[in-house]
């Protein structure tokens, strides 16, 4: 069996449809039914007709991805979907052949049915070499290196990563920005485990202008950090913060626990930081608490750290060294999904 990377839009715009309807889908919505094509050359010719301004290299690139999606992916193959809406990766098993949907109201045309095995695996669960492969700057890509299938199936069964072997990546160009973020995620998981993660969240809140009090390790009454704006912390909004460092997604009981303690501490709002992310039921229930509670996963925390790192104390900056770099921005349409040729 093979392992395939299949993305759901540059900004994750097709993620929800993919997960809710048990499928993987790609762009190129202008193209008709591809199952009628018998050779890759016919597919290239079809692309030339619909995207006349695209270069021959780009058309060849797109043709390879589309041909793989339609003809090379097989039932029982594994598919990985890196999510843009949270710092997690969905893993599924292909359940059927390529299908063309001309009558869907959401504009999705090209699909493969999938049985989702896990939809909420935190990115730090994977070893760095697999994350590098998942960062290939393509919409459809086969992941072949470093015994990927067995290791991913092990994660589906609940085991962690196994260290990989040197971060070898497949041929497609690497998404450097995502690779850098994955390195930061890995550093936090190694260096700020357990209660140390609360110290990192506390530094973010202090940089944002809050006066804080961090609970010591041990039972905390459902609150790891109390925070209030102003020189004495008497301003508004008053926050209760709960920090969970577990690499596994949490359930609704954690959200409800934070909801229950807000009144006890006379807090107006809450912040729930869960390194391993959240089960889908949490996001559904959290909509009812939109004006009182915010949910952060590892990706949200990293975004807040990057925003405030220069305001951190010197000793924490030394523990968490970051450096801005310049990188060439690759032409997105070289490996994109045909939505913006």
User: Which CB contacts under 8 angstroms, 24+ apart, belong to 302-311?
Assistant: 302/87, 302/181, 302/184, 302/185, 302/188, 304/204, 305/184, 305/200, 305/204, 306/184, 308/203, 308/204, 308/207, 308/208, 311/206, 311/207
**In this predicted structure, what is the pLDDT of residue 265?**
92
Q: Which residue has the higher pLDDT, 162 or 92?
A: 92
Residue 197: burial class (beta carbons within 10 Å; 0-12, 13-18, 19+): buried
Partners of 79 in the β-ladder: 4, 92
Distance from C-alpha of 166 to C-alpha of 187, rounded to nearest angstrom: 17
The per-residue pLDDT for range 147-157, each reduced to its tens digit, is 899 999 999 98
In angstroms, what is the C-alpha Rg of the chain?
A: 22
Residues of the chain with pLDDT > 70, as a percent, come to 91
Distance from C-alpha of 214 to C-alpha of 13, rounded to nearest angstrom: 38
**In this predicted structure, what is the pLDDT of residue 170?**
46
**In this predicted structure, what is the pLDDT of residue 211?**
96
Query: What three-state secondary structure class fits 100?
Result: strand
Say how many Å lie between the first and final Cα of the chain, rounded: 33
The pLDDT of residue 333 is above 90: no
Distance from C-alpha of 135 to C-alpha of 341, rounded to nearest angstrom: 21
| Contact between residue 155 and residue 120 where contact means Cβ atoms under 8 Å apart | no
**In this predicted structure, what is the pLDDT of residue 330?**
59
Partners of 274 in the β-ladder: 244
pLDDT band at residue 87 using 50, 70 and 90 as cut-offs: confident
pLDDT band at residue 338 using 50, 70 and 90 as cut-offs: low
Any idea which of 8-12, 35-39, 223-227, 295-299 has the lowest mean pLDDT? 8-12
| Contact between residue 213 and residue 198 where contact means Cβ atoms under 8 Å apart | no
Which residues, in sequence order, are CB contacts of 131 under 8 Å at separation 6+?
Answer: 123, 178, 179, 182
Which residues, in sequence order, are CB contacts of 283 under 8 Å at separation 6+?
Answer: 295
Mean pLDDT of the 164-189 span: 67
The pLDDT of residue 305 is above 70: yes
The per-residue pLDDT for range 248-303, each reduced to its tens digit, is 889 999 999 999 999 899 999 999 999 988 988 898 899 999 999 999 999 899 99
**In this predicted structure, what is the pLDDT of residue 159?**
65
The per-residue pLDDT for range 103-121, each reduced to its tens digit, is 887 778 999 999 999 988 8
Which residues, in sequence order, are CB contacts of 98 under 8 Å at separation 6+?
Answer: 34, 35, 69, 70, 71, 73, 110, 111, 112
The pLDDT of residue 171 is above 90: no
pLDDT band at residue 168 using 50, 70 and 90 as cut-offs: very low
**In this predicted structure, what is the pLDDT of residue 166?**
37
**In this predicted structure, what is the pLDDT of residue 340?**
37
Distance from C-alpha of 101 to C-alpha of 180, rounded to nearest angstrom: 37
Please give the structure tokens belonging to residue 255: 């959200």
Residue 123 per-residue DSSP state: G
Q: Beta-carbon neighbour count of residue 215 at 10 Å?
A: 18
**In this predicted structure, what is the pLDDT of residue 334?**
42
The per-residue pLDDT for range 204-230, each reduced to its tens digit, is 999 999 999 999 887 767 799 999 999
**In this predicted structure, what is the pLDDT of residue 25?**
93
Model-level pTM greater than 0.75? no
**In this predicted structure, what is the pLDDT of residue 220?**
66
The pLDDT of residue 14 is above 60: yes
The pLDDT of residue 161 is above 60: no
The candidate with the shortest Cα–Cα distance to 43, out of 22, 24, 64, 21, is: 64
Distance from C-alpha of 202 to C-alpha of 242, rounded to nearest angstrom: 11
Q: Beta-carbon neighbour count of residue 172 at 10 Å?
A: 19
Confirm or reject CATH 3.40.50.300 for domain 196-319, answering yes or no. no
The pLDDT of residue 165 is above 60: no
Mean pLDDT of the chain: 87
Distance from C-alpha of 121 to C-alpha of 239, rounded to nearest angstrom: 28
pLDDT band at residue 134 using 50, 70 and 90 as cut-offs: confident
Query: What are the residue boundaries of the structural domains of the chain, listed by start?
Result: 3-174, 196-319
State how far Cα 28 lies from the chain centre. Answer: 23
Q: Give the pairing of strands 3-6 and 140-143.
A: antiparallel
Distance from C-alpha of 319 to C-alpha of 316, rounded to nearest angstrom: 5
Partners of 4 in the β-ladder: 79, 142
């Amino acid at each position: 069996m093979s392992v395939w990377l299949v993305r759901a839009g540059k900004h994750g715009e097709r993620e929800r449809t993919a997960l809710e309807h048990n499928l993987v889908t790609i762009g190129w919505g202008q193209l008709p039914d591809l199952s009628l094509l018998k050779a890759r050359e016919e597919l290239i010719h079809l692309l030339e007709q619909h995207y006349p301004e695209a270069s021959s290299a780009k058309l060849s690139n797109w043709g390879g991805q589309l041909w793989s999606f339609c003809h090379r992916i097989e039932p029982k193959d594994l598919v990985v979907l890196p999510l843009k809406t949270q710092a997690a990766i969905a893993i599924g098993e292909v359940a059927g052949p390529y299908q063309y949907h001309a009558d869907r109201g959401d504009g999705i045309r090209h699909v493969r049915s999938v049985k989702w095995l896990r939809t909420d695996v935190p990115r730090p669960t994977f070893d760095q070499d697999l994350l590098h492969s998942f960062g290939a700057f393509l919409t459809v890509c086969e992941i072949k290196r470093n015994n990927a299938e067995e290791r991913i199936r092990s994660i589906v069964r609940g085991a962690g990563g196994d260290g990989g072997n040197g971060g070898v990546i497949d041929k497609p160009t690497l998404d450097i920005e995502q690779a850098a973020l994955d390195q930061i995620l890995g550093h936090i998981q190694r260096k700020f485990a357990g209660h140390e993660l609360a110290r990192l969240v506390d530094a973010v809140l202090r940089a944002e202008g809050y006066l804080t009090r961090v609970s010591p390790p041990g039972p905390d009454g459902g609150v790891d950090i109390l925070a209030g704006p102003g020189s004495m912390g008497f301003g508004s909004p008053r926050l209760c913060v709960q920090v969970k460092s577990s690499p596994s997604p949490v359930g609704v009981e954690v959200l409800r626990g934070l909801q229950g303690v807000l009144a006890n501490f006379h807090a107006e709002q809450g912040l729930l930081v869960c390194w391993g992310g959240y089960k889908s039921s949490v996001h559904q229930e959290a909509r009812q608490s939109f004006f009182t509670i915010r949910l952060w996963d590892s990706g949200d925390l990293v975004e807040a750290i990057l925003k405030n790192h220069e305001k951190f104390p010197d000793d924490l900056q030394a523990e968490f060294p970051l450096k801005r770099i310049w990188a060439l921005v690759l032409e997105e349409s070289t490996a994109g999904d045909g939505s913006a040729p």
